[in-house]
Amino acid sequence: MPIIKRATKLLTVCLITASLTACITTPNQPKLPTINDTLSDAALTTIAKQDDRQPQSHTSSSVIGVHHGINVIEEFHCSDLCPENTIHIVHYDIDDKAQCDRIGGVTKSILTPIAITVMPKDYCLPAVIADYWESYPQ
């Protein structure tokens, strides 16, 4: 009998843990705006569509705000012909594809200028701009 009681307790603990985990994690659901958000979906779309944006400082990458609780970075990459061949990429400050998926972002591989060539680099884009990425001026 003690083995059955232990198995029942173990099963109960496993079920409670699974239930709590399901309540806490919400995969595939977009995050809601938080009190700390400084960028709306509309603001992100506007920034990503602007082809005349220039770096705000001497660095080519800067945090421009918070969207759904996650820092948003705006990067400028240029090949050997600067500023003519400069692309501008707006993305979450997330490097891991699994984490990007968890937060509702979309991982896109973007050809990024490096010296006289380009190389694909994965970026975690906010879903609101990911669908339109190919049509954005870069």
Strands across the sheet containing 70-78: 61-67, 70-78, 86-92
Q: Is residue 129 part of a domain?
A: yes
User: Residue 103: which of 85, 80, 133, 125 has the closest Cα?
Assistant: 125
Q: Is residue 93 part of a domain?
A: yes
* Higher-pLDDT residue of 34, 63: 63
3 state DSSP class of 93: coil
Domain range enclosing 92 = 41-135
Phi-psi region of 65 (alpha: psi -120 to 50; beta: other; left: phi over 0): left
Provide the percentage of residues in the chain whose pLDDT is more than 70: 62
Mean pLDDT, range 77-105, rounded to an integer: 86
Q: Is residue 29 part of a domain?
A: no
Q: Is residue 7 part of a domain?
A: no
* Higher-pLDDT residue of 6, 46: 46
Handedness of CA 101, 71, 65, 92 (dihedral sign): negative
Q: Check whether 123 has a pLDDT greater than 90.
A: yes
Q: Is residue 17 part of a domain?
A: no
Domain count, the chain: 1
